[in-house]
Amino acid sequence: MQSDREWAALTRALDRAAWREDARFRTVELRQLNIDARLELTQEALRERPAAEWLQRLDEAGVPCAPVLTRTATLADPQVKANGIVVEAEHPAAGRVRDARPAARFSATPWTAGQPAPGHGEHTATVLREAGLDEAAVDALRRQGAFGPVAEAAE
């Protein structure tokens, strides 16, 4: 809790008025210096009730809060869906995959999905050619196993 107002609201929501008198937590600086103790006490208090109840109490008290969601719950979250945060794409080896799009959106430079991550050694020959090696040198390295155990696709 960064501000005195947020700290007071938290102590009220958690029914821990005594924390406001605790010398370790009297100022923002002291609360930060004693963060381990503050977090331990907060975690102990939060174990006393279900998350949904705490979220309601904290919200009503004006304490900034949000649930920590499981992966499945995140994907089903109405706000995540409304904002189009999760995008799906076809990966050549993995099939259909989900990923998060960039958080920022710009009208003049709209985001488009990129290419999937390359397979092991997939771009090795191209990189070596760009570094100045001729085709004979690239082939020699390939035969020596420098590209790893996965055969490179024809480029």
DSSP code per residue over 22-84: -GGGSSHHHHHHTHHHHHHHHHHHHTTS-HHHHHHHHHHHT--------HHHHHH-HHHHHTT
Regarding whether 54 and 9 lie in a shared domain, the answer is: yes
Per-residue model confidence (pLDDT) at position 91: 86
* 136-145 confidence digits (pLDDT tens): 999 999 899 8
Closest CA to 154 of 134, 130, 131, 138: 138
Regarding whether 52 and 13 lie in a shared domain, the answer is: yes
Regarding whether 142 and 96 lie in a shared domain, the answer is: no
Regarding whether 81 and 53 lie in a shared domain, the answer is: no
Mean pLDDT score of the chain, rounded to an integer? Answer: 89
| 103-125 average pLDDT score | 84
Closest CA to 1 of 37, 25, 17, 22: 25
Regarding whether 84 and 127 lie in a shared domain, the answer is: no
Per-residue model confidence (pLDDT) at position 146: 86
Closest CA to 148 of 118, 129, 124: 124
Regarding whether 20 and 40 lie in a shared domain, the answer is: yes
Regarding whether 108 and 132 lie in a shared domain, the answer is: no
Q: Is the pTM of this model over 0.75?
A: no
What's the total number of domains in the chain? 3
Domain range enclosing 140: 118-155
Confidence of residue 16 (pLDDT cuts 50, 70, 90): very high
> Residue 97 pLDDT > 60, yes or no?
yes
> Residue 154 pLDDT > 60, yes or no?
no
Regarding whether 87 and 124 lie in a shared domain, the answer is: no
| 15-25 average pLDDT score | 96
CB atoms within 10 A of CB 138: 21
